[in-house]
Amino acid sequence: MHIGVIGAGIVGLTSAYQLLRAGHAVTVIDAGHGPGLATSFANGGQLSYGYVSPLAAPGVLSQLPSLLFSRTGPLRIKPSFDPDFWRWSIEFVKHCNAQANASSTLRLLSLGLHSRAVMQEFLARESVSFDYRLSGKLVVYRDAHKLAAAERSLELANDLGYPQRRVDAATCATLEPALAKIAGELAGGIHTPGEGTGDCQSLCRELARLVGAHADGKLLYEREVTGFDVRGGTVHSVRTRMGDVAVDACVVANGLAAMPLLRKVGESVSLYPLKGYSLTYRDAPADARPQVSVTDADNKVVYASLGEHLRVAGMADLVGYDYRIAARRIQALRTLSAGLFPALGGAHAPLEWTGMRPATPHGRPILQRANTLGNLWLNVGHGGLGFTLSMGAARVIADAIDGKRPAVDLAGFARLAA
């Protein structure tokens, strides 16, 4: 089959790669001028397969007053008149309970561990460079109650054969010496040795290279998709402002832009931008590059070494489609970074970035065939886990298209599955 893939971010390009591996001809169509230039551009750099608990959790609702009025907290909400915001928020609240959170976490762990296995296959097969490193991940907590809650989730990963362990503050400082200066503030942490780091945008470029070099692969940039030519309940072509692209099937993998596109064919998905920020310190001093991937759970900030660079990323703002870089959020990242890595004081000014994570209310991506069109498939809504889940999501979609039984049950990744 000739399959069109809409989106040249990490989700779209992994989908294209897996479909080519399955023997299909593939055309990637994207509105941008190159691969990985939107949400994939400067994300946190963590391949966090075992630490995937969604934002919708029991404790969030009790924090709602502070989230609505705080301008400095790691999670911030700005109510909007946009009906999509209210639809998303109502569903989000429904999932802020222990049972829903545990169910979503288990499903995400299953997909995450499958994604890790597929990534390892990919790394063994292809010669690619994206500053990948099996660094391990350390999530540190100042609050003992939050650490205890995280330890309960840890048991789910261990039950699936993916080792994680609780460590005390002293061990945190041993695993990552930069934490020694704040060890006295820490209740402890969760260490996951199997996690990795890498530059997502660099991987997008490598995937685009592999797709473009394949005899059956094609990349079309600067092609904004405007709709579909639908006849007899089937997509016959993808419509763009520069002409139609005939297809036998299509995978929609263009993040937030999927919502208005799918509405044109009667498909409704609930996505909302979860805005994040990052700093990239290029040629960072050696003592400002952590040995392990570090997550500061209290401040929702991650630190990852990417070759000679340090990526600092975090925050979660539900503020609508505001693509401006908020100076206050960037300054908060700079202050936190300097507090942990004083050597950054002499580093070059970092690259500042903001990106819109396409989040579902329950925190799970939507991986399914469209309800109305038999040859249209959805691979959207990965939120902050796009880099982590992309390889696994791409494989299960490719398997489903081929009529194979995916390694992960897709029933848990429908629009608003319970």
Domain ranges of the chain: 2-40+201-270+363-412, 56-97+130-195+272-359
Query: What is the mean pLDDT of the segment spanning 384-388?
Result: 97
SS3 194: coil
Q: Please provide the CATH number assigned to the domain covering 56-97+130-195+272-359.
A: 3.30.9.10
- Ranking 68-72, 172-176, 406-410 by mean pLDDT, the lowest is 68-72
How many C-beta atoms surround the C-beta of residue 71 within 10 A? 9
pLDDT at 67: 62
pLDDT at 416: 56
pTM for this predicted structure: 0.96
Ranges of beta strands (E only) in 193-292 are: 196-197, 217-220, 225-231, 234-240, 243-246, 249-252, 272-281
pLDDT at 68: 62
Query: What is the mean pLDDT of the segment spanning 382-396?
Result: 98
Confidence class of residue 399 from pLDDT cuts 50, 70 and 90? very high
Confidence class of residue 70 from pLDDT cuts 50, 70 and 90? low
Query: For 198-251, how does the pLDDT look when each residue is reduced to its tens digit (9 = 90+)?
Result: 999 999 999 999 999 999 999 999 999 999 999 999 999 999 999 999 999 999
> Residue 102 burial by CB count (10 A; 0-12/13-18/19+): exposed, middle or buried?
middle
Query: What is the mean pLDDT of the segment spanning 115-132?
Result: 98
Confidence class of residue 77 from pLDDT cuts 50, 70 and 90? confident
Query: What is the mean pLDDT of the segment spanning 269-291?
Result: 95
pLDDT at 417: 45
Confidence class of residue 365 from pLDDT cuts 50, 70 and 90? very high
Instruction: Kindly report each contact of residues 157-164 with a partner whose C-beta sits within 8 Å and lies 24 or more positions away, as own/partner.
Output: 157/50, 157/109, 157/192, 160/109, 160/110, 160/113, 161/113, 162/49, 162/50, 162/109, 162/113, 162/192, 162/194, 163/192, 163/193, 163/194, 164/50, 164/51, 164/190, 164/191, 164/192
> Residue 358 burial by CB count (10 A; 0-12/13-18/19+): exposed, middle or buried?
buried
pLDDT at 71: 67
pLDDT at 402 over 80: yes
Non-local CB neighbours of 413 within 8 Å, separated by 6+ positions: 107, 111, 364, 365, 366, 367, 368
For the chain, give the percent of residues with pLDDT over 70: 97
pLDDT at 418 over 70: no
Query: What is the mean pLDDT of the segment spanning 123-152?
Result: 94
SS3 214: coil
CA distance 367 to 110: 14
pLDDT at 74 over 60: yes
pLDDT at 91: 95
pLDDT at 63: 73
Cα-based distances in Å from 331 to 8, 166, 301, 317, 368: 31, 31, 13, 15, 40
Q: Please provide the CATH number assigned to the domain covering 2-40+201-270+363-412.
A: 3.50.50.60
pLDDT at 215: 98
Chain mean pLDDT for the chain: 94
Confidence class of residue 69 from pLDDT cuts 50, 70 and 90? low
Query: For 6-60, how does the pLDDT look when each residue is reduced to its tens digit (9 = 90+)?
Result: 999 999 999 999 999 999 999 999 999 999 999 999 999 999 999 898 999 887 7
Structure tokens at 165: 């362990």
